[in-house]
Amino acid sequence: MLDRNFIISLVMAFALIFLYNAYYQVRFGQYLEQEGQKQMLAAEQKKKNAHAPEQKKTAGTASDLGKGTSVDENAAPVSPETTEFLPSHAAMEMETAAAAAPPSAGSAPASADLITINTGAATVVLSSKGAILKSYHLNGYHNKDNNPAELILDPQVFEQTQKKNFEEAKADGDDADFKWVTAYPTLGLKFPKEEFSRIINTRVFSHDASGANIDISGASRPTTVTFELSDPSGIRIRKIFTFHSGENEFDFSVEVISAPQWGKFKYSVVWFGLNDDEPAHLQYLSYHRPMLKIGKQFRMDSPDEEKRIQEYKGDIVWAAFTHKYYAVIGMPQRSDASLVRTNYIDGYNTTLEWEYPTDSVNSIRFFLGPKRHDILREYSDDQRVIIDYGWFNVIAQPLFWLLDKFHSVLGNWGWAIVMLTVLTKVVLFPLSQKGFRSMKKLQKFQPQMKKLQELYKDDKEKLNRELMAFYKENKVNPMGGCLPMFLQIPIFFALYKVLYESIELKGVPWILWITDLTAQDPYYVTPVIMGGTMFLQQWMTPSTGDQTQRQIMLIMPVVFTFMFLSFPSGLILYWMVNNILSIIQQWIINRENFEESGPKEKTA
């Protein structure tokens, strides 16, 4: 039998799960990440020790090639043991030939140029040091400090954080288990030898940019910047960036030309995670994961510390990495790649790595921007599926469609939420009406049920039989008040995900002091009103249990008020309006007369 005790237990269970998850992330999230990094370090260190050269080699120059001069192996893109990437004659040549050397460690590198491009949709910064995407600020979207949203995860900041975590682990005596993550710049290159990757990604490329600041907002033609490098190792690299006015996408092509002494080998283009302004203690509420379309199939794998590297092969239509509000999607245009690799960064980030052979031109079109329905619908290869609201996505997607339609009519997302709440309440009215009436009837029958409980207090089996007979005789369903509530739970959670994760609500106002529906109410007015309406609703709800249970139910609004103080104001608005409508509905039910169908007492 489902009674008020069950309802209380259900509500408290959900509350406890939410509070525990939030507390666990705040209290232990950083510690768990550090523990994972410690374990990675131990494995990495063992691997490095196993492959460490017996004798340090001295650096040579390009003119030393073929003379048997001892040189620094780090100048080579591949190791002699990496024969799977090389033809047999090249592998043999690598064993006997010397490698070209990079500049000595003490020499000063050439100064790098920064090229800023305003596309209208974003402000992009390219660096000639590594020919990489250094910064990508979305115009029109801001973080919590009201600065333009930055989507590039800075590898230097990441390394500083990682070193800090290592020092803390070292102080605790856990440094042997620390796992390091190799940081790469966005659209940097990853070669079979890690040190050569570092060398290339810090080389200064030549470029043909027309100036340090390029503004193409409103322009009819795209702008292209070409970077080129001829490395002392004999490796030549060309990268081309093409940006379009007003677009959240750009084209990228790369060509790595090997030298005869290295033969043909494979390398990767790396996208190193995504930057996000989402608070760390709330990140677990949203999906942060790579998603791929391979042929007609979709793959989605969350970052996994145990299985850090995932490989995907086949006809890769696109590969994406998604956060709460933003995403990057790489769509190969002209490519010899049939493999994309993801590599664990942390619990909320992985790399995307497209593997290519040398001596071929490979092009990728990147989307980097907000996960807006209207933008992603324009793509023809199902890129819109990266907007995933979780378990109840099949309900959430139609709810957003309705919300969008209301917004197109009203012109205000806040009032659209109000109208969606009203519509949801109307649709669910028969269910909730049945639940309220069932609870009202049970309240009327409480005296008779108390008598039966007292009469058969020593015989639980007999009591259950008599109660069931009582319910049947009086045509009362003890689950009548609970079942409608259960049926509404999926709709509530789906609507919660829509209001929590839809970037269309980010930075947009409702009325008065509510200037961002995805941010908390700065003055806590709406959470307090929500708590007050929830208290009034509980006070008006028929009680089918004892006074202790009723007092607990009256305390719940206070608990929920404190829980919701930091929740997005758009979600608070929904709950507040829903409470007001429920109060009106309960007032109507309370005025109905149930005396005509009074209880038929069950006698012993």
395, amino acid identity: I
pLDDT on residue 38: 45
pLDDT band at 407 (very low <50, low <70, confident <90, very high): very high
| pLDDT tens digit sequence for 129-176 | 999 999 999 998 887 777 889 999 999 888 888 888 888 888 888 777
What share of the chain in percent tops pLDDT 70?
A: 72
The Cα–Cα gap between 73 and 58 comes to 9
Alpha carbon of 601 to those of 446, 450, 597: distances in Å?
11, 11, 12
pLDDT band for position 231 (50/70/90)?
very high
Per-residue pLDDT tens digits for 66-91: 333 333 555 567 665 443 333 333 33
pLDDT at 566: 78
Tell me what the mean pLDDT of segment 532-561 comes to: 70
Parallel, antiparallel or unpaired: strands 316-322 and 326-334: antiparallel
Structure confidence at residue 50 (pLDDT): 42
pLDDT tens by residue, 419-428:
998 998 888 7
Locate the DSSP E strands across 119-235.
Answer: 122-127, 132-142, 148-150, 188-190, 206-207, 213-215, 223-230
- Output the CA angle 146-152-154, nearest 5 degrees: 100
∠ CA(110), CA(156), CA(159), 5° rounding?
135
Q: How confident is the model at residue 16 (pLDDT cuts 50, 70, 90)?
A: low
Most confidently predicted of 22-26, 40-44, 223-227, 528-532: 223-227
Measured CA to CA in angstroms, residue 114 lies from 133, 207, 405 at distances of 10, 11, 43
Q: How confident is the model at residue 45 (pLDDT cuts 50, 70, 90)?
A: very low
Q: Tell me the average pLDDT of the chain.
A: 77
pLDDT band at 7 (very low <50, low <70, confident <90, very high): low
Q: Judge whether residue 33 has pLDDT over 70.
A: no
Lowest mean pLDDT among 77-86, 234-243, 259-268, 278-287: 77-86
Plot region of 512 (φ>0 → left; ψ -120 to 50 → alpha; else → beta): left
Closest CA to 4 of 594, 604, 374, 546: 546
Q: Is the pLDDT of residue 316 over 70?
A: yes
Identify whether the C-beta of residue 228 lies closer than 8 Å to the C-beta of residue 249. no
The rounded distance, in Å, linking the Cα atoms of 565 and 351 is: 35
Residue 412: its pLDDT value, please? 93
With a CB cutoff of 8 Å and minimum separation 6, the contacts of 346 are: 33, 36, 181, 273, 303
Biggest distance spanned by C-alpha atoms of the chain: 110
Segment (H or E) for 370: strand 361-370
Closest residue by Cα to residue 561 from 519, 596, 532, 588: 532
Cβ(256)–Cβ(358) below 8 Å: yes
Strand arrangement, sheet containing 326-334? 206-207, 223-230, 236-243, 249-257, 361-370, 326-334, 316-322, 289-294, 297-300
Instruction: Compute the 3-state secondary structure of the chain and give helix, strand, coil in percent, each to the nearest 5.
Output: 45, 20, 35
Give phi and psi for 465, each to the nearest 5: -65, -45
CA-closest candidate to residue 314, choices 291, 294, 343, 342:
294
Cα 547 to the center of its chain, rounded Å = 44
Beta strands 132-142 and 236-243 are: unpaired
Q: Which residues pair with 368 in a beta bridge?
A: 328
Question: Per-residue confidence at 32, pLDDT binned at 50, 70, 90?
Answer: very low
Q: Compare 223 and 1 and report the one with higher pLDDT.
A: 223
DSSP 8-state symbol, 203: S
Indicate if the pLDDT at residue 304 is higher than 80: no
CA atoms of 468 and 466, how far apart (whole Å): 5
Q: What is the pLDDT of residue 103?
A: 37
Instruction: Write the pLDDT tens digit of every residue in 171-217.
Output: 888 777 778 889 999 999 999 999 999 999 999 999 999 889 999 99
pLDDT of 224 over the 90 cut: yes
Q: Does residue 11 or residue 98 have the better pLDDT?
A: 11
Across residues 242-259, what is the average pLDDT?
95
516 contacts 569 by C-beta, under 8 angstroms = yes
b/e map 217-244, b = 16+ CB within 10 Å: eeeeeebebbbebebbbbbbbbbbbbbb
